[in-house]
Structure 1
Amino acid sequence: MGESLMFVLAIDTATDAVVTGVARLDGDPTAAPAVLAERVVRDGRRHAEVLTSVIREVLDEAEVARTDLDAVVVGCGPGPFTGLRVGMATGAGFADALGLPAYGVCSLDAIAPDGSGSVLVVTDARRREIYWARYVDGQRVRGPEVTAPADVVAELDDIVIDLVVGSPAHAELFGRPVGPATVPSVAGLVAAVAGDVRSVAAPEPLVPLYLRRPDAKEPKKRRPVEVRR
């Protein structure tokens, strides 16, 4: 394996799909990542069960050993609390065990297609809300945010949007052309931080983008009961 080549493991569990794969970066800073293996497993309730075995599968398919990896890229959401933390904890633990840098990426950035124009990315946030962000010429100009779909539709009614991608059921609400991308891609995850990976820049700490409090709440402390005799 040439010294100019770098191999990256990508992980995202911010949506109902487990997305994992291996990509190769060469020495050309303008070149897109070459995806050597990718798996998209749609099972939102089995992230933890699926992820470890899928990582092994993509490494075997790509014929890349763990010791050949140069970095790990992890989708940091926004996403539901339980699923998101599975991918982030696994990615961080994997990187730490191998002494690799772990780079965090906004998962919506990894859904937005490259190119010019105005793009809206929406994913299911549950609780009758969506996570969303808007992009112009490949750059995020708004978001990520979590909002009720009707409120986003109304707010963006007068905004030029050439394409909507992400959750199909929610993308159709905006009355604009809907693109094929529905979940983060390995190419999108790696491309978002390719410059940092190539330059071996020190990564920022991985911070999950929950955008709201987790569903689970600590029980309120009960007042002591006074026992009368």
Structure 2
Amino acid sequence: MLLLCLDSSAVASAALVTGAGEVLGSFASPDTRSHAEVLAPAVRELLTGHGVAGGDLDAVLVGTGPGPFTGLRAGIATARALAFAWDVPLHGLMSLEALAQDAAEDARAAGHEEFLVLTDARRKEVYWARFVLAPDGPRLVAGPGVAAAERLPGLPAYGRGAGIWADHLARPVPAFAAAQPTASSLGLAAARRTVRGEALPADTAPLYLRESDAKVPGPRKKALA
């Protein structure tokens, strides 16, 4: 199986990942303001560099967040458009599973049976999910959610959200203080699921978790006579 993976829940990223869990190529931009501009060229370069046409893919996989409105929409819209144009299946996976994939080896070495992964939700909050470390990898047991860091349980906490709010958490993991979800790790999480015999979700609805700051203007008020 060959997956084109996209994630824009934090940084804009793309990757080619096999069903055996091999990352053939990847791209990640540190700029969180240019997701729409960089994703399509990155995909083109990845495919061209590996001699892959869109129709050769077995599926497109996209991270569904949680994340901010503008960035998250860019990745999901790109994934939907490419899957439609190439007539290949489209799958969605919660972006925090990518962080859990990255954290699992460290958590196992440290003897952590459960852990949190956190990304920055702004407004003095974090996006969070809680995982238990099973023999075949991390499994989601709670979340995703959005909350102030001090309201979360005192478990080891991985990810940039934990780095930003380390002083408000019981057990932040410093080595992962800058870690963000990436398309390559999302693809590895998907490969782990398929090895377990689990089908990849077809739902690509974005996980915004809270309302947008943008509001539809109300009716114009009449001027007083």
Q: Which amino acid aligns with 2:180?
A: V
Aligned equivalent of 1:189: 186
Q: SS of the residue aligned with 1:214? A: coil
Q: Which amino acid aligns with 1:50?
A: V
> How many residues are matched?
209
TM-score of the superposed pair, with normalisation by structure 2:
0.82
Deviation larger for 180-189 or 197-206: 197-206
- Name 1:212's counterpart in structure 2: 210
Secondary structure of the structure 2 residue equivalent to 1:72: strand
User: Within 1, Cα distance between the matches of 2:131 and 2:34?
Assistant: 31
Q: Which runs of 5+ in 2 are unaligned?
A: none
Cα RMSD (Å) of the superposition?
Answer: 2.5
Aligned-partner Cα distance in 2 for 1:140–1:214: 26
Instruction: Provide the residue aligned with 1:80 in structure 2.
Output: 68
Find the aligned partners of 1:198 and 1:122 in 2 and give their Cα distance. 25
Instruction: Give how far 1:136 is off.
Output: 0.9
Identity %: 39
Measured in 2, the distance between the counterparts of 1:148 and 1:57 equals: 39
Structure 1 gap ranges (5+):
1-5, 26-30
Is 2:107 the counterpart of 1:119?
no
Q: Distance in 2 between matches of 1:176 and 1:95?
A: 38
Q: Deviations over 1:132-165 (max 9, x none)?
A: 111111111121111122323xxx13xxx34523
Which one has the largest radius of gyration? 1
What is the deviation of 1:11?
A: 0.3
Partner of 2:82: 94
Report the Cα distance in structure 2 between the residues aligned to 1:56 and 1:50, rounded to whole angstroms. Answer: 10
Contact 2:14 2:43 in 1 (8 A): yes
Matches within 5 A, 1:146-165: 146-152=146-152, 156-157=153-154, 161-162=155-156, 164-165=158-159
Deviation at 1:46, TM superposition (A): 0.7
